[in-house]
Amino acid sequence: MFKRIIVSAMVLSAPFLMAGGNTASALCKTAKIHGKTCKPNKIYLERDVDLMWEDKPYTEAEEGAYMRYHSLGKVGTQQHALSYCKRLKYAGYTDWRLPTSDELSHVHRKDGQVFSYATEHEFWSSSIAERGKGYVVYPVDANRYKRKQNQVNYIRCVRCMAK
């Protein structure tokens, strides 16, 4: 009986004996976190064609609007996209516009991802395909496709750097 008590006590106390491990008196230093975000709003300068691209993060509300086929911010119909870019005040400039399909294709053919905030969804261009349809550019293959103008897609504005 005494052996059973001793064995039981050893089995039950084993986790407590092993639990402590190596206890250092000082914790590792951690990085200080400032009030700034890690990725602030940015621009992308496409110097070979003198274009400045808006490069802002897509918000959860915009992602939700895209999923529900609504226009909100940097997501919407082609008309919404034209209006959004025309009203945009960003990076100290007010002359933003919706890019042409050729401009969008050109920037998405560059090696690597040039934008900090990217998505694999289609982007509206200002180019008209035919009555009731406009061109979008799919960034994965940089090709343009016809879409109904009331379809919801992503928006990225551009402006000319050379005046």
How many Cβ atoms from other residues are within 10 Å of residue 123's Cβ? Answer: 23
Confidence (pTM): 0.74
| Secondary structure in 3-state letters for 125-150 | EEEEEECCEEEEEECCCCEEEEEECC
- Domains of the chain plus CATH, in order, are 42-160 (3.10.100)
For residue 158 the two structure tokens come to 């551009």
Residue type, 38: C
For 38-88, how does the pLDDT look when each residue is reduced to its tens digit (9 = 90+)?
A: 556 799 999 999 999 999 999 999 999 999 999 999 999 999 999 999 999
pLDDT at 28: 47
Which residue(s) pair with 100 in the sheet?
none
How many residues are listed for the chain in this entry?
Answer: 163
